[in-house]
Chain A
Amino acid sequence: MTFDEFAGARLQAVLRFATALSGDPDLAKDLVQEVLIRVSGRWQEIGQLDRPEAYVRRMVVNEYLSWRRRSWRLIPSGMSSHIAAPASPDPADGYVERQALLAELAKLSRRQRTALVLRYYEGFSVAEIAEVMGCTPSTVRGHVLKALAALRVELHEPLAVAAPSKETQ
């Protein structure tokens, strides 16, 4: 596969991953751009790998974790004190709740957020996450459990080494 083919076929997927990771489309653009500049220069080497995309995603994760630029953009909660909460859930509530969840996600540490995105967006196992993040599986479990607690997400599947079911994407 040439770099041209890789970029044409997989760039959008890498961008989606970077957006989930950073929580900000603009940051994701910067992130992917930085990574792709390096990838293009090393394509002869990266293109020979069995899964070049996995390697590129790992580069995106590393870039994100070492990113100097902080996003100062506030992700608003969207809650308004003068509008009372409804008594029962309805379709529009799902949107608000999802936005609130995303706002809370943005408050997590980068490592916690990275672990969550790899687990629940990419569907990686704990062992795979540990490999990508360069830490031990127990550290990954710690990141995931603390992040889930902060987000008030109930864990229904045990954090086993095996990958969870992949429902999205």
Chain B
Amino acid sequence: MEDLGRAPARTEADLRAALAELGRRAPSADDVVSRLREVGSRRQWRSPRLPGQPGRVLTRRRGWPQLIVGAAAAVTAAAVTVALTLGGSPSRTGGPDVFPALPNPPASAGGPPVVVSPGHHPSATSLARAMLTAFNAAADDLVYETTAGFKAGHLIQTDQSWSWPAVPSAGQLQYVRDAFSAIPRGASQAIASVKLTEDNGYTTVVPRPSPYLQKEHARLITVCYAGTGQTGCGWGRFNTPAGTWSQHTGVMPYIDSTPSPRGADLARQIARGQWRIVGHTRLRGQRAIKLAQTRSGTFQGHPVILWVSTATYLPLRMIWVSGKFTEVDNWYYLPPSKANLAHLRVPIPPGYPRSG
């Protein structure tokens, strides 16, 4: 309590607001019902009687769980157990159709219209502090990142990655899935559509930061899709022929798949004045601050725009423009629910043989 004298006093309203915000972080009832179903059925098998209720059998009630939980949630909840077991084989169900669509594709590189209200901008320092706080609070979340690359306004490649935990510490197990889609080789970039090309699942223990190449024990699952014009997919020394999948467990070069730029780096750049706030807007249903990189920024020479949510102080979107090329990155910080973690599973298309 040594700082009692200098810290500003809080009010009861502050406390109510903080508790209300905490309450809003409650998990979805669907998740609880789903878990309740699993535990309920397990307990029913192991111990049919409730303490203090001799003779009463705990039966899973029909009706209400089904009302709340969709069948899809139950399927994905079962699948994630497989996906999260090191060395386990991925489920052979599913296929490219299970990939979620890229949410909220940008209408244009310029983004939604900006409503500038200069009187309510946070300072760069306080914005950076809020973002650091938010990144720390979201450290255990699942971060879903979509990257879309455009050439002369035409979509030429996309990348979807799921990474959990969002901010891994050294020694922590990290699960990453990366699904890459591109225009098939030989097809016209101006008219062809992107096609799922390869899907990689990578699980490893995060090493301490080092400027040198590191090797770690890891598991790598690769699905290399056929019909993309590629003969195979490579990851380090592992090559997976097109139309097959492979799984390798062993010591391999560590690949840092945490979304970049890292949150702390972004916050430092903002604090150092490498970004300036250009306005307020709404993005993906949230109030957001729009920032533009200044000339002292890291990516000099390329206009870069960043949107940060003022509800969560986490980044929402970044757009890079370089000549004809535009890249749009979207970030989604998701609670690590079973349904969300199920996206870390790499689905093996039916009929694809294992090649390694």
| List of B residues within 8 angstroms of A105 by Cβ | 18-19, 22
> From residue A42, how far is it (CB to closest CB) to chain B in Å?
7
Q: Which of B's residues lie within 8 Å of A, judged by CB? A: 1, 4, 7-29, 31-33, 35-36, 39-40, 43, 50, 53, 56, 58, 61, 63-64, 67-68, 120-123, 125-130, 132-134, 136-137, 139-140, 267-268, 271, 310, 313, 335
Q: Could you pull out 17 A-B pairs where Cβ atoms are within 8 angstroms?
A: A2-B64, A3-B64, A12-B26, A12-B29, A23-B22, A41-B58, A78-B137, A83-B271, A85-B129, A92-B127, A98-B21, A102-B18, A105-B18, A151-B15, A153-B10, A154-B11, A154-B12
Q: Which 8 A-B pairs have the closest CB atoms?
A: A78-B133, A4-B64, A92-B122, A168-B20, A16-B23, A92-B130, A76-B136, A19-B26
State whether A76 and B139 are in contact (beta carbons under 8 Å apart), knowing that A29-B27, A98-B21, A102-B22 are contacts in the complex.
yes
Check B134 against A15 for contact (C-beta < 8 Å). no
Q: Are A40 and B26 in contact, CB atoms less than 8 angstroms apart? A: no
Given the known interface contacts A20-B22, A153-B10, A157-B12, the answer about A29 and B35 at a Cβ–Cβ threshold of 8 Å is yes
In Å, the complex CA distance between A8 and B69 comes to: 11
Give CA–CA (A29, B81) in the complex, Å.
Answer: 18
Question: Contact at B33–A11, with CB atoms within 8 Å?
Answer: yes
Q: Is the CB of A78 within 8 A of B18?
A: no
Contact with B132, one of A7, A83, A155 (Cβ below 8 angstroms): A83
Across-interface contacts of B133 in A (CB, < 8 A)? 76-79, 95-96, 99
Q: Across the two chains, which residue of chain A brings its CB closest to B122? A: A92
The reply to whether B39 and A33 form a contact with Cβ atoms under 8 Å apart is: yes
Chain B hits for A25, CB < 8 A = 25-27, 335
Expressed in whole angstroms, the Cα–Cα distance for A153 and B130 within the complex equals: 22
- Taking residues whose C-beta sits less than 8 angstroms from the other chain, chain A's interface range is 35 or more
Instruction: Say how far B347's CB is from chain A's closest CB, in angstroms.
Output: 26
Partner pick for A155 among B12, B63, B67, CB 8 A cutoff: B12
| B25 contact set on A, CB distance < 8 A | 19, 25
Seed contacts A85-B129, A97-B14; 19 additional CB < 8 Å A-B pairs: A3-B61, A5-B64, A12-B28, A19-B26, A20-B19, A36-B32, A40-B40, A78-B129, A80-B132, A90-B126, A91-B120, A91-B121, A93-B130, A95-B134, A97-B10, A99-B134, A151-B10, A153-B15, A154-B11
* A115 within 8 Å of B (CB atoms): no
In whole angstroms, what is the CA distance A72 to B33 when docked?
A: 25
Mostly helix, strand, loop or mixed at chain B's interface? helix
Taking Cβ atoms with an 8 Å cutoff, the residues of A that contact B are 2-5, 7-8, 11-12, 15-20, 23, 25-26, 28-29, 32-33, 36-38, 40-42, 73, 75-80, 82-86, 90-93, 95-99, 101-102, 105, 116-117, 120-121, 148, 150-157, 164, 167-169
B1 closest partner in A (C-beta): A150
The CA of A63 and the CA of B32, in the complex, are separated in Å by 16
Chain A residues closer than 8 Å to B63, beta-carbon distance: 4
CB of B36 within 8 A of CB of A33, answer yes
A153 & B335 in contact (Cβ 8 Å cutoff): no
Query: Do A40 and B58 have beta carbons less than 8 Å apart?
Result: yes
Give the one of A85, A148, A151, A153 with max B CB within 10 A.
A153
Nearest residue (CB) in B for A147 is B15
CB contacts (< 8 Å) of A36 on chain B: these are 32, 36
With A41-B58, A95-B313, A167-B16: A101-B10 Cβ-Cβ less than 8 Å = yes
- Find the A residue at minimum CB distance from B53: A41
A168 contacts which of B17, B132, B137 (Cβ < 8 Å)?
B17
CB-CB nearest in chain A for B11: A154
Q: Are B32 and A92 in contact (CB under 8 A)?
A: no
B295 to A: closest C-beta gap in Å: 22
User: Chain A's nearest CB lies how many Å from the CB of B277?
Assistant: 10
Separation of A150 and B15 alpha carbons in the complex (Å): 12
In contact, B136 and A91 (Cβ under 8 angstroms) = no
Closest residue of chain A to B50, judged by CB?
Answer: A41
Q: How far is the CB of B70 from chain A (nearest CB, A)?
A: 14
Cα separation A12 to B25 with both chains bound (whole Å): 11
Instruction: Known A16-B23, A25-B335, A168-B20; judge A83-B61 contact (CB<8 A).
Output: no
With a cutoff of 8 Å between Cβ atoms, the chain A residues found around residue B61 in the complex are 3-4, 40
